[in-house]
Amino acid sequence: MKHGFIKVSAVTPKIKVADPEYNAGVCIEAIKAEAAKGAKIIVLPELVLTGYTCQDLFLQDTLIAEAKEQLCRVIVETADVDALVFIGLPMELCGKLYNVAAVFSHAGIKGFVPKRYLPNYAEFYEQRHFTEGQEEVIFVDFAGQTVPFGGNLIFQSDVIDGLAVGCEICEDLWVPDPPSTALAKAGANIIVNLSASNETVGKAEYRRGLVGMTSSRLLCAYVYCSAAEGESTQDLVFSGHNIIAENGRILSETKRFEAGVARADIDIKRLMSERRRMTTFDVPLKAEDGFTRAGFDLEKCDTALERVFDPAPFVPSDAAARADRCEEILSIQSYGLKKRYEHTGLKTAVIGVSGGLDSTLALLVTVRAFDMAGLDRKGIKAVTMPCFGTTSRTKGNAVRLSEALGCELITVDIAASVRQHFSDIGHDENDHSVTYENGQARERTQVLMDMANKENGLVIGTGDMSELALGWATYNGDHMSMYGVNAGVPKTLVRHLVAYYADSCGNEEVSAVLRDVLDTPVSPELLPPENGEISQRTEDLVGPYELHDYFLYYMLRAGFAPDKIYRIACRSFEGTYDKETILKWLKVFYRRFFAQQFKRSCLPDGPKVGSVAVSPRGDLRMPSDASRAAWQKILDRLG
């Protein structure tokens, strides 16, 4: 369970109706098989020891007694299994029959959770046989053990910090106020559901959405296990639709109409982080909250991960979803800028265009904002400012794009001004240090700011979120603007936004320029070119942006520690980067992220577009002089 990962399984064996002895045998096999694969929480379907479709046979003493006997058998024969197991059966108590989930681990019965809501409509007549369970927990004798019985039961790990499991049964999930809500608010971060949901046209999609949304609403993992093959098909068909979701994301799902297993690695630490982040998710600290906690033991071990972590967490892998995401982000950026123009009453934008990705995106957003506001595109002053590192390719793209979009192109060669500045401060032009580079960046910003004053306009910022995270911006140079439209967009997504615009704008001339921009290496172009080609490649200096965006997402959005990020990154980028390379750039990321906060603390206004942002107003509130010592200590242990 290192790093908070725990493997869970929803397993549906093929059973025989009203044959508890046979069903116990297949359940034992299933439990042992899943435990062998590392599952620590194993869920079987509702009433699986008898079958859900026994109908009036549920009223027979023989079936009830046999189910109890076979439960004892299952518990004894899986005593060496290191897992918390949930299994369904009918249970008689005080002359009433209950549809329950029996919960056990290491031969110890941890509790019985009764079904709270019993359907009584066309397909199901459970109220004919069963009694609704109560919230209140009582203690009952079973097989020589005193066992808690009731709905307000949470199974709390005695070993794994934060692991708390709640249980509800089938219909409980479908009601307006399901028991899982109270269980989650009382601290349960994994909810299991033992179900027997029949299949009808369209029901699977509804079920999938219900499970996913419940896990999102409750900031939990939800393990749904349903009956399947072996149940009676007299009037209904059960498909065995098993689903495991975590905070709105479906992690695993079985193929319907066959007994199967859904298995997934749940991230308990991530769920705990999400709950900390959402302050409206109220888990009151009360000594008496009406819930009983039943402890259980598990051996501590490393979970062998099967879970896949997307190497591009900011970019949807599905083409249609990616196009929708790009359109939405462009709209957010453009509407934000449009509002700024409506508020100021200005009609001019000043934007430095270099022929690179970031300034290209900023120009496209500005054009969209002007179109939305009904402003003349000639009010967009696209300023190209060639200097020592400018290549003909990037300058040519900046010129062609500005003209194709109908903006006013202005060229200001800043070489003479920068040389004068070097002379003023006594800097040798042959010294290509940071002063050489930043002098150009600040001169460009001065030109843009003064031109905005002259033209009564706004300077539109071009820097993206990845650059801000790494501090890859010149303080009071390209770091500064009057509205930073790209401040919430990571570098890996900038590329897709420009590509989406190229594919959808309907202007072949614009598209052709954008495609060449996409093929141009990312560079600040502050050092002289070599043989007319870009000599300064950003990713050679600070590392691959696909790695840094990955680190940024899992650090800020998920709150992962460096060793956990390293572990999943090695899995995500296997075959692309070796472990040594990943660790090298992870160390660079943390060093730069902490050292460069002072630049983020005074960012210009700009729209937040996703779940991660670094603006001191939109998302990240961090002291500029925070120590990274605790994070560095973990990095040092990695090598």
- Structural domains in the chain, CATH included, are 2-296 (3.60.110.10), 319-638 (3.40.50.620)
- Reported confidence tier of residue 71, pLDDT bands at 50, 70, 90: very high
Query: Which one of the listed residues 46, 126, 467, 525 is annotated catalytic?
Result: 46
Indicate the residue type of 87. Answer: I
- Confirm if 158 and 139 have CB atoms less than 8 A apart: no
Q: Find all residues with CB under 8 Å of 462, minimum gap 6, and list them.
A: 351, 352, 358, 359, 361, 362, 478, 481, 484, 485, 486
Query: What average pLDDT does range 66-85 have in this prediction?
Result: 97
Phi, psi of 609 (to 5 degrees): -115, -15
Q: Which residue has the higher pLDDT, 346 or 235?
A: 346
CA angle, 560 as apex, 251 and 293 as ends, to 5°? 70
- Reported confidence tier of residue 530, pLDDT bands at 50, 70, 90: confident
Q: What is the reported pLDDT for 523?
A: 67
Round to whole Å and give the CA distance between 517 and 505: 15
Round to whole Å and give the CA distance between 212 and 220: 10
Give the DSSP H/E element, type plus range, for residue 382. Answer: strand 380-384
3-class secondary structure, 299: coil
Q: What is the reported pLDDT for 177?
A: 95
Task: Count how many residues are written for the chain.
Answer: 639
Both tokens assigned to 529:
């070119």
Q: What is the reported pLDDT for 302?
A: 83
Query: Which one of the listed residues 170, 220, 225, 326 is annotated catalytic?
Result: 170
Q: Find all residues with CB under 8 Å of 474, minimum gap 6, and list them.
A: 437, 438, 441, 442, 445
DSSP β-ladder status, 41-43 and 138-142: unpaired
Tens of pLDDT, residues 546-605: 999 999 999 999 999 999 999 999 999 999 999 999 999 999 999 999 999 999 999 999
Query: Which one of the listed residues 7, 40, 110, 115 is annotated catalytic?
Result: 115
46 is an active site residue: yes
Give the DSSP H/E element, type plus range, for residue 30. Answer: helix 20-36
- Confirm if 549 and 492 have CB atoms less than 8 A apart: yes
Round to whole Å and give the CA distance between 456 and 395: 26
- Reported confidence tier of residue 260, pLDDT bands at 50, 70, 90: confident
115 is an active site residue: yes
Write down the mean pLDDT value for the chain: 93
Which stretches within 525-574 are classed as H helix?
Answer: 538-542, 545-552, 562-572
Give the DSSP H/E element, type plus range, for residue 167. Answer: strand 164-169
- Confirm if 463 and 478 have CB atoms less than 8 A apart: yes
- Reported confidence tier of residue 535, pLDDT bands at 50, 70, 90: low
Q: What is the reported pLDDT for 36?
A: 96
Both tokens assigned to 338:
């449009």
Tens of pLDDT, residues 354-398: 999 999 999 999 999 999 999 999 999 999 999 998 888 989 999
Q: What is the reported pLDDT for 465?
A: 96
Query: Partners of 244 in the beta sheet?
Result: 223, 252
Q: What is the reported pLDDT for 287?
A: 58
- Cα torsion 349, 355, 357, 358: sign: negative
Round to whole Å and give the CA distance between 365 and 359: 10
Q: What is the reported pLDDT for 240?
A: 85
Query: What average pLDDT does range 530-543 have in this prediction?
Result: 72
Round to whole Å and give the CA distance between 623 and 268: 28
Query: What average pLDDT does range 57-81 have in this prediction?
Result: 96
Percent of the chain with pLDDT over 90: 83
Give the DSSP H/E element, type plus range, for residue 154. Answer: strand 153-157
Q: Sheet containing 483-484: give its strands across.
A: 408-411, 380-384, 349-352, 458-461, 483-484
- Confirm if 303 and 5 have CB atoms less than 8 A apart: yes
CA distances from 543 to 518, 588, 592, 608 (A): 18, 8, 11, 25
- Reported confidence tier of residue 534, pLDDT bands at 50, 70, 90: low
Written as one string, the DSSP assignment of 478-543 is: TT--SEETTTT--HHHHHHHHHHHHHHS--HHHHHHHHHHHTSPP----S--BTTB----HHHHH-
Q: Which residue has the higher pLDDT, 525 or 329?
A: 329
DSSP 56: G
Q: Find all residues with CB under 8 Å of 274, minimum gap 6, and list them.
A: 219, 247
170 is an active site residue: yes
Q: Is the pLDDT of residue 224 over 80?
A: yes
Round to whole Å and give the CA distance between 564 and 454: 52
